[in-house]
Every structure is written in structure tokens, then in C-alpha cells.
Amino acid sequence: MQGLIDRLTALLSDGTVARVIGWKKGDMAYNPEPHMFETAESLKDFVYDGFCGANLSKMMIEASKLEGKTAVCLKPCDTYSFNQLIREHRVVRENAYIIGVGCRGKLDIEKIKKGNKGITSISGTELDGSDDIKIETIYGDKNISYKDALLDRCHVCKGKDHMIFDEVWGESKDTADQERFAEVEKIEAMTPEEKFAFFRNELSKCIRCNACRNVCPACSCRKCIFDNTKFDAQQKANVVSFEERMFHIIRAFHVAGRCTDCGECSRVCPEGIPLHLFNRKFIKDIDKFYGEFQAGKDPEAQSPLTDFTFEDIEPGERG
């Protein structure tokens, strides 16, 4: 990590970049926060470890409007989001200096906390850390394997390659050890009643905090239609239970074909709703109906849902 800090310090000092978007040390063992560092001196608080799960690409929407270049630390999966934002003209590539940071999967603190209350320190979570992490709590210490504490999304890792970068720091690892669409298939296999019950159970927990939307790099609208008084979609609570489901379904439609499957929605949901399932179902269907497509892989590629082509079948025709 010191190597990364040194490199960032050099970039700031020689004027290559005017600021750095990275993670700042938290006040606990596991809560670093996304941060914009503006001085070399402030980088002393920079941290990069297993808890730096946040996808920083969305912060570049605002940062790329600022004077000068911004260095941004992106993990392999974050670079897909960045590419998608380029495609949608939401970030200016030239104003970004992308440090592709290595990744060996990110940790799910909720998994660690299960049975480990009163955590005082966690060690071994750095990129070059051990296969086991050591958890110290006021109720006792424990070792668990890094792999067992991974975020669910890391088990379907899209790969260790950065899709876009100016330089790469650190080794990455493809942590995929599960079938990407296995969860979706499990739901597809349910009867309609079971599906309905499953989603009702999950979505009834929704508190409409909008964290999923606000963290989502595809939800980059200046003004979300759900916040816009111009439309009657604006709701902060669910008058009827129909709406709590509609919010997430409409959101899934809005990001369809643009969602890179970064998994931030599920990571931030305070109620642990597996929101990524909606998006992943869409991805699976798009793959099936339009051919394999990974949003954010190539910003120049045609997108199956939002690019008109003359090969598109006219309505009412066979095919």
C-alpha cells in the first residue's frame, strides 16, 4: 500500500493530477470511506485494503468537471462502470488519470460481523495480506479465511483485467468460483407464486432510502424521475405495497443494458436486499436474446437496448 501512496504522492507533487480519489482510513478496522485527497500531505490517511469495496467511478462525474486531472483508483470491476460512464458522456476521459488498483476480492463486513461482535481490529486484509484474516473483538479473537468473507459479487468476478487504465498498481486475482447466473436460474426455476413470495419478502424490507440508486453508477441522472415533481412517480414511502416493488423494477428497467453488474446496489442496501438479482436477470436475458453483451467492456460497442439499427425488426413483422 505504501507503494501506491508513494506513487499517488508523486502524481500530485509533479502536477500530473490535481487531486486523488481513493479511500480514507476509517475510525474502525473496516470502515474506510471514499475520499477526495487534494494535498500530498493528506495522503497519509489513504488506505487500500479488503474493505475498499466502494466503486469510485461515479465520483468522477463531478470530479471530471473540476480544473485539472483527477487520479482515481479503480478496481477491475469498477473500470466497467467507468467505461459505461464514458459512453454516456457523464465523465470526461481526458480529465481522469486512472490507477487500476489490484484486487483479490473485497470483504463483506456483514459476513464478518456475523458471530463477531465488538470488533476492535482486523488484520491481513491488504492486497498482499494473508489467506486468513485475524479478527480481534472484545469478546475474543478469531481467524477466518479471506475467501469466506468475500462479498457475494466477488464470487462471480468478471475477471482480473482492468478495462481502462493509465497505469496499474498491484496484482489482481480472478475470484470467480461460482456460476454467474446460478442465483438467477434458481429464481427462474421457481413457480410464479414462489417468485412472487420471494420478492415480496425481500422487497417488503425496503425502506426507500435510495442508497441503491444513489450509489449506482448507471443511475447517474441529474434528476431521477422518482425525485421529479414533473412526474407523479415521486414517492418517498409506499402508499400501496405495489409501489415498493415498482420502484426497484422500474429502476432495473432504467439501467437495463447499462448495468455492469458491479453489485454496489446489493452491497449498500441497509436491509440486505439482493437487488442485483433484477439486473442480473436482465443481463442474462439480453445475452440470450441479443447475444453476449457486457456493458462497460468497450465504450464504443453498440448496446443491445439503446442503439437503433436498421436490422431492428419492425413491429408487427414476423421474426
Binding residues for another protein, per CB under 8 A?
26-28, 31-36, 54, 59, 87-90, 117-120, 137-139, 201-202, 204-205, 207-211, 213-215, 220-225, 227-232, 234-239, 254-255, 267-268, 270-273, 303, 306-308, 310, 313-314, 317-319
Distance of CA 252 to the CA centre of its chain: 15
In whole angstroms, the minimum distance from the beta carbon of 74 to another protein comes to 16
Query: Which string of b and e fits 142-170 if b means at least 16 CB within 10 Å?
Result: eebebeebbbebbbbbbbbebbbbbeebb
Query: Which string of b and e fits 202-230 if b means at least 16 CB within 10 Å?
Result: bbeebeeebbbbebbbbbbeeebebeeee
* Of the candidates 169, 190, 216, the residue with the CA atom closest to the CA atom of residue 74: 169
* Of the candidates 215, 284, 283, 263, the residue with the CA atom closest to the CA atom of residue 105: 263
The torsion defined by the Cα of 283, 289, 294 and 299, in degrees rounded to 10, comes to -120
In whole angstroms, the minimum distance from the beta carbon of 22 to another protein comes to 11
In whole angstroms, the minimum distance from the beta carbon of 160 to another protein comes to 25
Nearer to another protein, 172 or 244 (CB): 244
Q: What is the DSSP string of 92-154?
A: -GGGEEEEEE--S--B-HHHHHTT--SEEEEES-BTT--SEEEEEETTEEEEEETGGGB-GGG
In whole angstroms, the minimum distance from the beta carbon of 281 to another protein comes to 18
In whole angstroms, the minimum distance from the beta carbon of 84 to another protein comes to 10
Nearer to another protein, 13 or 228 (CB): 228
Nearer to another protein, 176 or 268 (CB): 268
Nearer to another protein, 170 or 257 (CB): 257
In whole angstroms, the minimum distance from the beta carbon of 157 to another protein comes to 21
Nearer to another protein, 10 or 66 (CB): 66
Count other Cβ atoms within 10 Å, centred on residue 98: 23
Nearer to another protein, 35 or 281 (CB): 35
Query: Cα separation of 258 and 207, whole Å?
Result: 25
Nearer to another protein, 172 or 283 (CB): 283
